[in-house]
């Protein structure tokens, strides 16, 4: 065991050289034990255009040389101004007006909750403090975002205050409708991931349409948490750009700098920004490393590289190939019960191998991930299976290699499991 206390890694796995990465290039990661693996998870879902992009690295280096540290805490800096303007342009200036910078998806969701409550107070409605999220959602592990996260990850153990948070079932319009009937006058915001991160479950068109209708009826802010789905991950630059109407706030983080900087952004609609501007209101939020020159330089370089590579179109083509390959995997492998997700954000659901075909117990998912890793690919654990989140820049050969590793890993996992149960 080393001095490093790694996040969400069991104590008995800490200090292992096969889990200690030393370099990454393109879509491959090298580890301290000498192995090199194909990355099927885009880092932590954030290296959307692959590792080691030279243009982004050079932009970061130049900003560090020229500006080192400049803040957006009681000051502005020119890098942050440029990055904000670029984000408004790609998001749609007809819908959005201002950008608040943060340092992580979790911290940005904390900011969203404060922003929504303050907005309603400015409009003379101090009752609106409740924020609604979806069961099975993931919004972060800071205290505010942890309260909003819809998976049970120990909120009670850590004393997370969820008194002003409610959770409803995704794609169930009746449940959120009933909640709004009871508490509509208290709800400040509804925060949704266009594709739920934990299970790669896409919101249906019907559910999104109902959320938009309910927003008009009840007056809450609708927030699209696009930390995972933004920057081309699900078929358009932001997934919410395919909605019939724009959300009030968009949260971006993972693909924002292609994984190179601790950065996040909250993209703010005209009506929310105008409420603060007209009142001359000061939002009480600030983070030391938010909107610094290096983070904003990497945002600008990432946007430029996305355009140069036509990365959204690359992702659309890769998604079509994934459709074909995952359908084939489901048809050929009896232990695969189906797939979920959208674009280049997918899950593969696995059964326990019995005649009943019950879902694979969640406790066994790490062993499946390890088996696929042994076959040569990094995949992310999912609900009753794995998640596949390849870089948008994957070649056809790399996608074929990834699916071969999944097949080999599934077969090895089944064999080991059958022997253990015999």
pLDDT-derived band at 280 (thresholds 50, 70, 90) equals very high
Average pLDDT over residues 165-169: 98
Domain residue ranges in the chain = 54-309, 310-421
Token pair, residue 62, equals 């130049």
pLDDT-derived band at 421 (thresholds 50, 70, 90) equals confident
341-367 pLDDT tens trace: 999 999 999 998 887 889 999 999 999
57-69 pLDDT tens trace: 999 999 999 999 9
Task: Find the length of the chain.
Answer: 422
- Sequence-ordered list of residues with C-beta below 8 angstroms from that of 180, at least 6 positions apart, any chain: 187, 214, 217, 218
Q: What is the pLDDT of residue 3?
A: 96
Q: What is the pLDDT of residue 80?
A: 98
CA–CA distance, 207 with 99 (Å, rounded to integer): 27
Q: pTM for the complete prediction?
A: 0.96
Q: What is the pLDDT of residue 355?
A: 77
384-408 pLDDT tens trace: 999 999 999 999 999 999 999 999 9
Q: Is 252 helix (H, G, I), strand (E, B) or coil?
A: strand
- Write the class of the CATH domain 310-421: alpha beta
pLDDT at 54 over 90: yes
- Mean pLDDT over the full length of the chain: 96
Q: What is the pLDDT of residue 357?
A: 85
CATH architecture of 54-309: 3-Layer(aba) Sandwich (3.40)
Strands 249-252 and 221-225: parallel
CA–CA distance, 191 with 132 (Å, rounded to integer): 6
Give the alpha-carbon dihedral of 8, 11, 17, 20, to 10 degrees.
20
CA–CA distance, 308 with 286 (Å, rounded to integer): 33
């Amino acid at each position: 065991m080393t001095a490093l206390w790694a996040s969400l890694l069991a104590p008995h796995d800490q200090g292992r050289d096969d889990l200690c990465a030393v370099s990454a290039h393109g879509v491959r990661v090298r580890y301290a034990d000498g192995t090199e693996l194909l990355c099927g998870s885009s880092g932590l879902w954030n290296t959307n255009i692959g590792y080691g992009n030279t243009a982004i690295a050079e932009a970061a280096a130049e900003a560090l040389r020229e500006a080192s540290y400049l803040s957006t805490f009681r000051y502005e800096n020119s890098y942050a101004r440029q990055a904000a303007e670029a984000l408004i342009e790609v998001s749609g200036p007809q819908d959005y007006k201002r950008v608040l910078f943060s340092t992580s998806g979790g911290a940005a969701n904390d900011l969203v909750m404060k922003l929504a409550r303050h907005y309603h107070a400015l409009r003379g409605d101090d009752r609106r403090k409740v924020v609604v999220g979806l069961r099975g959602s993931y919004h972060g592990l800071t205290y505010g975002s942890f309260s909003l996260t819809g998976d049970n990850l120990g909120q009670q153990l850590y004393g997370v205050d969820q008194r002003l948070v409610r959770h409803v079932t995704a794609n169930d319009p009746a449940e959120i409708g009933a909640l709004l009937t009871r508490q509509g006058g208290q709800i400040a915001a509804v925060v949704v991931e266009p594709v739920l991160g934990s299970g790669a479950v896409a919101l249906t068109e019907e559910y999104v349409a109902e959320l938009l209708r309910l927003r008009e009826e009840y007056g809450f802010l609708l927030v699209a948490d696009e930390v995972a789905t933004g920057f081309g991950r699900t078929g358009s630059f932001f997934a919410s750009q395919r909605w019939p109407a724009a959300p009030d706030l968009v949260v971006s983080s993972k693909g924002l700098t292609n994984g190179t900087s601790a950065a996040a952004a909250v993209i703010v609609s005209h009506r929310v920004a105008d409420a603060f501007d007209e009142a001359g209101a000061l939002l009480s939020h600030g983070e030391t490393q938010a909107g610094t020159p290096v983070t904003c330089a990497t945002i600008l370089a990432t946007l430029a590289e996305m355009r140069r590579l036509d990365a959204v179109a690359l992702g659309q083509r890769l998604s079509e190939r994934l459709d074909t390959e995952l359908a084939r995997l489901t048809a050929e492998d009896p232990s695969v019960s189906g797939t979920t997700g959208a674009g280049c954000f997918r899950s593969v659901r696995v059964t326990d191998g019995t005649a009943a075909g019950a879902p694979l117990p969640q406790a066994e998912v790490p062993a499946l991930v390890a088996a696929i890793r042994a076959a040569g690919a990094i995949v992310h654990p999912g609900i009753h299976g794995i998640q596949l989140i390849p870089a948008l820049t994957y070649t056809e050969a790399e996608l074929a290699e990834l699916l071969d590793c999944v097949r080999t890993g599934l077969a090895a996992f089944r064999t080991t499991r059958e022997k253990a149960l015999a």
